[in-house]
Amino acid sequence: MNALELLGGGFTAAFEFWAFMTILTGLLVGVVAGALPGISFVNAMAMALPFTYVMEPTQSMLFLGGIYVGGVFGGSISAIMINVPGTPASLPATWDGYPMTKRGEVKRALAIAVTASATGGLVSALMLAFLSAPFATFALKFSQPEFFAATLLGLVSVIAIAKDQPIITMVSLVTGIAIGTVGVDPLYGQARFSFGVPEMESGIRFVVVMIGLFAIGEVIDLLATDRDLRPKKADGKPVGAGLRDFLKVKGAILRGTGIGCLIGMIPGAGATPGAVIAYGIEKQVSKRGSEFGTGVDEGLAAPEAAKNATTGAAMIPLLTLGIPGSAATAIMLAAMMLHGVNPGPLLFIMDPSMVYTIFAAMILANIMMIGAGLGVAQMFSTLMRTPPAILAAFIIVLSVVGAYGVRNNIFDVYVCLAFGVVGWGMKRVGFPSAPLVLGVILGPLAERYFLTSMAASNQDWTVFFTRPISATILGLSLIFVVWSLGPGVKALVTRSRKPDR
């Protein structure tokens, strides 16, 4: 009852005019920043940090929290509408969301995405408000071996998105991991695969690779095939997602929400592994799993719910332990420390009003996200009605600006253009590009966690199996691989046993 009273006081504070406008402004900034490829909501939060100097501590957290919630969803708008993920976590939205757009179901796809995202974020925010303490205790047990195991689970889940080409999918994934190793070794500080090019010593950023493969590659394919980027009309079919659509995907949303909450509270995991794992698991349990990648509702709803479910969960270790659970919460930690606020257990005793106002703001932001997300999507819908040549030019300009803005380096623009040609070639020969991007994103994380784990354990590789949580996650990874490859292996064995006629 005390928690309910405190949360009620938090809602009272959040509904004050200036607090409410701060949340709404942050939400809109986050949605727009997330929807623009290369900008990313994390960069928007970093750029917004100086503006929080003139705010009260609670108001600064409301502003940054609004950007966080809106930005995680915003990347799915461009992913669904133009096949260009605005954020890495929105990559799974291209697999089934964009095919729905090409069928003329763009409004329905966006409605499913925003509903699933809002549901996942709302459940996560409620969990943040009422279950912070026990979940924080569990998250505190995670160390480098557990982080490696969780990242490895995200990598092996890529196998689940393979259709009938598991070998080609694995080759694409390993290629992405190899690209991710370019740069300076995370443990020993030695340059690798830079070939004497100074710009390559700082590595190849996954955002640049993602923009090149999807955005530039899509435009090159448009020019090569003389097709129209604009979605087809709906042919008289309903394009809005109503209660029936929501009920049809409720299982996928609930499963995605649960996975997102569990992954999100692991410090350092983030929304991308949550979305990928949710998509892989949903493909295995869904009756339409074989159709994933062609525009299946569940294939869009599950990762959307998962990635937004990580928002509230990632704030649990931040507020209760002072440990940021993601890059976004690291910026929020910086804002709190700039204002002289030290997150941790004492914060719940010293300033409970601030804590529960943040809880209330997260709940409120996820509810308001439905209107804000659909409003920004409407702006993009207007853009989609422009002639293909103008739309292609807009995508090129946006991609170049986004690639340059990652590090303010013209070298990244060249890399982006090069991967655009590579992405077009992969598309023409049927080579999957999504596993490559996921390898670039998750590969360096897995490497860093593996090396630091080995260094801390005196090169004892059994540390991954003697720690209960790490061993459990690795066991789940093995089960996931067997579960994913089982049907394909069974079909292969069946075909090999058929007598020749």
Distances (CA, A) of 286 to 199, 279, 414, 449: 45, 10, 41, 32
Residues 6+ apart with CB under 8 A from 302: 116, 252, 253, 255, 256, 278, 279, 281, 282
Strand, coil or helix: 221: helix
pLDDT of residue 371: 80
The pLDDT value given to residue 468 = 87
Name the pLDDT band for 42 (thresholds 50, 70, 90): confident
Instruction: Name which of 82, 74, 83, 19 is nearest 43 in CA terms.
Output: 74
Residue 238 confidence (pLDDT) = 41
Return the amino acid letter for 374.
L
Helix (H) or strand (E) holding 287: none
Q: For 414-437, what is each residue's pLDDT tens digit?
A: 998 999 899 888 888 878 777 887
Check: CB of residue 284 under 8 Å from CB of residue 333. Answer: no
Looking at residue 105, what is its pLDDT? 82
pLDDT computed for residue 148 by the predictor: 85
Sign of CA dihedral 332, 338, 339, 344: positive
Of residues 247 and 133, which shows the higher confidence score? 247
More confident residue, 487 or 81: 81
Q: What is the pLDDT of residue 232?
A: 54
Q: How far apart are CA 386 and CA 139, in angstroms?
A: 48
Lowest mean pLDDT among 239-243, 244-248, 351-355: 239-243
What are phi and psi for residue 186, nearest 5 degrees? -70, -20
Average pLDDT on 439-463 reads: 85
| 431 and 230 Cβ atoms separated by less than 8 Å | no
Q: What is the mean pLDDT of residues 467-490?
A: 75
Would the pLDDT of 135 be above 50?
Answer: yes
Q: Which of these, 118, 483, 96, lies nearest to 299 by C-alpha position? A: 96
**Could you give the count of Cα atoms lying within 13 Å of 127 in the half-sphere of its Cβ?**
26
CB atoms within 10 A of CB 43: 19
Nearest to 413 by CA among 217, 209, 220: 209
Q: What CA–CA distance (Å, rounded) separates 172 from 213?
A: 13
Confidence of residue 499 (pLDDT cuts 50, 70, 90): low
- Least confident among 53-67, 147-161, 313-327, 485-499: 485-499
What confidence tens digit (pLDDT) does each residue in 182-226 have?
Answer: 888 877 778 888 887 888 888 888 778 877 887 788 788 777 776
| 263 phi-psi bin (left φ>0, alpha ψ -120 to 50, beta other) | alpha
CA 344 – CA 353 distance, rounded (Å): 14
* Beta-strand runs (E) in 278-415: none
Residue 21 CA to residue 33 CA, distance in Å, equals 18
Q: Write down the pLDDT at residue 234.
A: 46
Overall average pLDDT of the 370-388 stretch: 71
Residue 237: per-residue pLDDT: 43
Measured between alpha carbons, how far is 109 from 92 in angstroms, rounded to an integer? Answer: 13
Highest mean pLDDT among 94-103, 128-137, 329-338: 94-103
CA nearest to 282, candidates 258, 312, 260, 303? 303
Helix H or strand E encompassing 183: strand 183-184
- 148-163: per-residue pLDDT in tens? 887 887 777 776 666 5
Q: Is residue 126 a contact partner of residue 257, using CB atoms and an 8 Å limit?
A: no
CA pair distance 328, 307, nearest whole angstrom: 13
Residues 63 and 55 sit within 8 Å (Cβ to Cβ): yes
Name the token pair of 368.
């308001």
pLDDT at 116 over 70: yes
Q: Is the pTM of this model over 0.85?
A: no
Question: Cβ atoms within 10 A of the Cβ of 258, count?
Answer: 17
Q: What is the pLDDT of residue 242?
A: 54
Query: What does the alpha-carbon distance between residue 126 and residue 255 come to, in Å, rounded to a whole number?
Result: 16
| pLDDT of residue 445 exceeding 60 | yes
DSSP assignment of 219-232 equals: HHHHHHHT---SPP
Q: Which pair of structure tokens corresponds to residue 248?
A: 């049809």
Q: Which residue has the higher pLDDT, 174 or 164?
A: 174
User: Is a pLDDT exceeding 50 seen at residue 317?
Assistant: yes
Q: 6-15, pLDDT tens digit by residue?
A: 888 888 988 9
Mean pLDDT of 167-195: 83
The pLDDT confidence band at residue 236, using thresholds 50, 70 and 90, is very low
pLDDT of residue 490: 56
pLDDT at 495: 58
Task: Using CA atoms of 39, 41, 45, 46 in order, give the dihedral in degrees to the nearest 10.
Answer: -40
DSSP string, 327-340: HHHHHHHHHHHHTT
The answer to whether the CB of 320 falls within 8 A of the CB of 294 is: no
Say if residues 371 and 69 touch (Cβ distance below 8 Å).
no
Handedness of CA 264, 266, 272, 276 (dihedral sign): negative
96 in Cβ contact with 299 (< 8 Å)? yes
For residue 39, pLDDT over 80 is answered with no
For residue 85, what pLDDT is reported? 81
Mean pLDDT taken over the chain: 80
Does residue 312 have a pLDDT over 60?
yes
Q: What is the pLDDT of residues 246-270, one digit of tens each?
A: 678 888 999 999 988 888 777 666 7
CA nearest to 212, candidates 42, 442, 44, 404: 404
- Count CA atoms within 13 Å of residue 145 on its CB side: 21
The residue behind tokens 């260094």 is 455
Does residue 341 have a pLDDT over 70? yes
- pLDDT confidence tier of residue 20, bands split at 50, 70 and 90: very high
Distance CA 244, CA 83 (A): 26
Rounded to whole angstroms, how far apart are CA atoms 263 and 269?
A: 6
Query: pLDDT band for position 22 (50/70/90)?
Result: very high
CA end-to-end span of the chain: 74
Average pLDDT of 380-392?
69
Closest CA to 164 of 292, 63, 356, 72: 292
